[in-house]
Homo-oligomer: A and B are copies of this chain.
C-alpha cells in the first residue's frame, strides 16, 4: 500500500514549495491533439496515451501537481460555435481525472481538477446557470476523488467567486487563479481586491495564471498578497504564467497580440528566463509555482532546478540535464564546451534571427468585455455577417495602432 501523501495545504503550511505543471492546451496542440480555436480537451478520451505521456514528463520534471486536463471541458463550451458534441463533458472530465490520478500515483504528486471561465458567463447568463455548469464538473471531480480543486483562468472576479463558492461545497482545498495582470480584472477590479474577494469566498490559495509573462504575473500576485494582508486575511499564493514574453500586451493579455496563437514562437522564454522567474516568485513569498501556455517539461524542470536547494531535491529529469548547462562539458565542439556554466547563460541576450521583424507588436485592443455584443457566445457557427464585422474591427484596430 502506498504511503499517504501530504495534501497541498499541509505542504504549503509547512512552507514547502509546490511545483505546478505546464500548459497542456498549447503543448498538445503542437503535438497534434488539440484544436486551436475551440481548444477543447477531447484528447483525454480519444488519445489518453498522449495525455498520460505529457503528465509523466511534467512529473519527471519535478511537478508536484498533476492537473487533470479539464480545461474548457464544460458542456456549454463544448457546444460552442458550431461544434457537434460527440464526447460529453462528463466523459472528458472522468478520463482526465483518471489520467492525472494514475500519473500522480507514480511519484510525489497530487491530482487536482479544475473549472475555468464559461461561455455562459460571457453571454450574461444568471449566477444560477453559471454555477450549474461548474457543479456538473465538480460532481465528476468528487466522484473521482481528486486531491484538491482549482478555479482558474477567470477574467472576471465575479465569475471566479461563483466558481469558488461551488467548489467549496466539496470540502476539498480550493485554489483560485485569475488570468489577470497587475491592472486587475476586465471590469477594472484591482488585483488586490480580486484576491480579497476570492479568499473571502473560501479559496485557500490565490494567484494568477496565463495571459501574461512570468515577471508580470509575479507582479500581479504580489499585489494580491498586499491586498490580502492589508485586509487582515491569510492565504497561500500561486503563479502559473505564460512561457512567452508579452511586454506589449495591455491589461487584456496576450490574446490581443497579433501573434496569438500561431506565431508566438519568438516570444518563448528560455530555461534561463524560468530560473529568474522561479527565484523572483520565491522571493515574493509565492510557494505554488508552475506554468501555463507555452510551459514545456524543460521549463518546469528549470523551476525545480532553481529551487533545488530550498526543496532539498532534484527532479528525476535532471539526470538528463546539467545544472546551468554543465552537460555541455561533453559536447564535441570545444566552443560549445566553453558554454557549460551559469555566467554564460545568465547574461546571454538571445537574438531572434529575424532582422525584418520588430521586437514589439501593437495589440489589437478592441476594448470589449463581458456584456458587449461582440462577446456573446453561441452554439451556431460564426455567420458571414459576424465575420465581416470582425474583419472590419481588425482593420480598424490596425490602422489606429
Contacts and interface: CB of A to CB of B under 8 A. Distances in A.
B351 A259 contact: yes
Interface in A331-351: 331-340, 345, 348-351
Contact of A53 (B53, B263, B265, B269): B53
A145 interface: no
Contact of A327 (B36, B356, B377): B36
Interface in A36-64: 36-39, 49-50, 53, 56-57, 60-61
Contact of A333 (B57, B255, B391): B255
A270 interface: yes
A interface, over-half SS: loop
Contacts of A353: 213, 244-248, 266-267, 359-360
Contact of A272 (B81, B263, B330): B263
Contact of A80 (B245, B330, B360, B364): B330
A52 to B, nearest CB: 9
A355 interface: yes
Contacts of A386: 334, 337
A260 B366 CA distance: 34
A53 B49 contact: yes
Contacts of A247: 353, 355
Given A31-B297, A360-B356, A37 B328 contact: yes
Contacts of A377: 332
Contacts of A57: 31-32, 50
Chain A, interface residues (CB within 8 Å), range? 35 or more
B390 A351 contact: no
A362 to B, nearest CB: 7
A322 interface: yes
A63 to B, nearest CB: 11
A298 B267 contact: no
A397 interface: yes
A362 B347 CA distance: 13
A193 B247 CA distance: 31
A14 B360 CA distance: 43
Interface string A354-388: 11111111101010100000110100011000110
Interface of A: 29-39, 49-50, 53, 56-57, 60-61, 80-83, 119, 122, 213, 244-248, 255-272, 296-298, 301, 317, 319-322, 325-340, 345, 348-362, 364, 366, 368, 374-375, 377, 381-382, 386-387, 389-391, 393-394, 397
12 contacts: A29-B298, A31-B297, A36-B327, A37-B330, A80-B330, A267-B350, A329-B387, A334-B366, A351-B360, A352-B354, A355-B360, A356-B360
Given A29-B298, A36-B328, A258-B348, 10 more contacts: A31-B298, A80-B330, A80-B332, A259-B350, A265-B266, A332-B375, A334-B389, A335-B364, A351-B356, A359-B360
